[in-house]
Amino acid sequence: MIDREQLEVINDRKGDWPPVMDYRSFAEWIGVDATVVYAWIRRAYIPAVKIGRYQMINVVALIDELRDGDL
């Protein structure tokens, strides 16, 4: 579950992120390897949508899940 300090960071940075991001950019943004993020998508650990042939991380849904403690 997300702790209070992390929630404050999320709330402070609200609006600093796009609603969706390709998985490679997302991986770079959070500092993990792109193959890790792709595996998270395949296992449905993080919310993603397919737009055309691209897997996009639904950043808004991810932030909401983090805030609600659903992850």
pLDDT value for 56 = 92
On the question of pLDDT at 34 being above 80, the answer is yes
- 18 neighbors 36 (Cβ within 8 angstroms): no
On the question of pLDDT at 33 being above 60, the answer is yes
pLDDT value for 39 = 95
Compute the distance between CA of residue 69 and CA of residue 1 in angstroms, rounded to an integer.
Answer: 5
pLDDT value for 18 = 76
Compute the distance between CA of residue 38 and CA of residue 48 in angstroms, rounded to an integer.
Answer: 10
Query: In this structure, what CATH number is given to the domain that contains residue 12?
Result: 1.10.10
Q: How many distinct structural domains can be found in the chain?
A: 1
Average pLDDT, the chain: 81
pLDDT value for 60 = 85
pTM for the complete prediction? 0.70
Nearest 5°: phi and psi at 45? -75, -30
**Helix ranges, 1-71 (H):** 4-12, 23-30, 34-42, 59-68
Task: List the domain range (segments joined by +) for residue 18.
Answer: 4-68
